[in-house]
Amino acid sequence: MPDDIQGEQKPPEPEEDPQPPAEWPDQSTAEVEERVPQDAVQPEEVAVPAVLRNAGPAGEEVRRVAPAERKRMNRRELLKLVPVVALGAFAVPKLREPLLNGGLHFSDWASGKLFGRARLAQTFPDSDVVAFERFPYNFYDVVDPGVDLERWTLTVEGLVQHPGEYKLSQIQALPKVTQNTRHVCVEGWDVIGNFGGARASDFLRAIGADTSARFLEAECADGYYESIDMETMLHPQTLFCYEMHGKPLDRGHGAPLRLQMPTKIGYKQAKYLDTIRVTNVLRADKRGYWEDQGYSWYGGL
């Protein structure tokens, strides 16, 4: 749980014209990639309907979190991930809530102290990557909020020199990174996938973000919201992800853009990105959708 900071700091004044750059590095000359070999077996093209119901494109079950189930998914779910808060489960009723809050606060603090920007999450060979059809769809409200992919832009706000609207093509013009990493869900499942996109650090520097700020807030087209510590956003494996398995991100997995952070639990990796904001102060009532219901804020692995 982040400590409160009073007051927002302004970003440093730009030395030149504060307009967004008209052209960013050409992808063909500035790529820093770990591409999937050309002869690797690629998943077949799968047509995804505009709105997915109870099954994915290959007939797999779509995980839907019903309103009644959300009420049962409280902070006790995190006991398996944060052993220190187990004390709260055995406390007398009056002490249980403070102990749970204290345990989560301590866990977040300790996780932040142990995090190292140079410490990489494990990567895997292509042979360990699950077939695209077996990568679960997981969502909290709707599997497809109906984003207009042709007209979509990412709104950038906060402590940046170049706020405004950014097209997907501008993000794709940055050096692309592909990586085989593990996605871990708080519900108990994990899967190794192939993800492609721009390093978040490259995009943040391109827009003139104040990287000494503490947080990045994200709002999504489906109403979901998240906030992430800046150290994680600058980690070299944190991506603004627009591809999976060498294909454009599909609607069920967060098209056109999502966060992909192999150092974080799944609920931190917001999909259907709509707005990002660089800030030193988190809004008290919008720290994160699940965090506001009692989940760990840091969410590190």
Q: Where are the domains of the chain?
A: 27-37+52-63+118-293, 73-114
Lowest mean pLDDT among 125-129, 182-186, 195-199: 182-186
pLDDT digits (tens, 9 = 90+) for 78-92: 444 445 445 455 555
CATH of 27-37+52-63+118-293, one of 3.90.420.10, 3.40.190.10, 3.40.50.1100, 2.30.60.10: 3.90.420.10
Q: Which is higher by pLDDT, 1 or 108?
A: 108
Q: Percent of the chain beyond pLDDT 70?
A: 60
What sign results for the dihedral spanned by CA atoms 179, 181, 184, 190? positive
For residue 31, pLDDT beyond 80: no
Banded pLDDT at 183 (limits 50, 70, 90) = very high
**CA neighbor of 261 nearest in space, from 181, 153, 186:** 181
| pTM recorded for the entire structure | 0.68
Contacts 24+ apart (CB under 8 A), 225-229: 225/270, 225/286, 225/288, 225/289, 226/259, 226/267, 226/268, 226/270, 226/288, 226/289, 227/282, 227/286, 227/287, 227/288, 227/291, 227/297, 228/259, 228/261, 228/264, 228/268, 229/2, 229/112, 229/115, 229/298
Count Cβ neighbours within 10 Å for each residue of 262-282 and write b for 16 or more, e otherwise.
bbbbbbbbbbbbbbbbbbbbb
What does the pLDDT read at residue 142? 72
DSSP 205: H
Is the predicted pLDDT of residue 22 greater than 50, yes or no? yes
The 10s digit of each residue's pLDDT in 224-240 is: 999 999 999 999 999 99
DSSP class per residue in 121-167: PP---GGGSPPGGGS--EESS-S-----TTT--EEEEESBSS-EEE-
Could you tell me which residue, 178 or 25, shows the higher pLDDT? 178
Average pLDDT value over all residues in the chain: 76
Residue 178 or 27, more confident: 178
Give 300's pLDDT tier (boundaries 50, 70, 90). Answer: confident
Judge contact between 153 and 275, C-beta under 8 A.
Answer: no
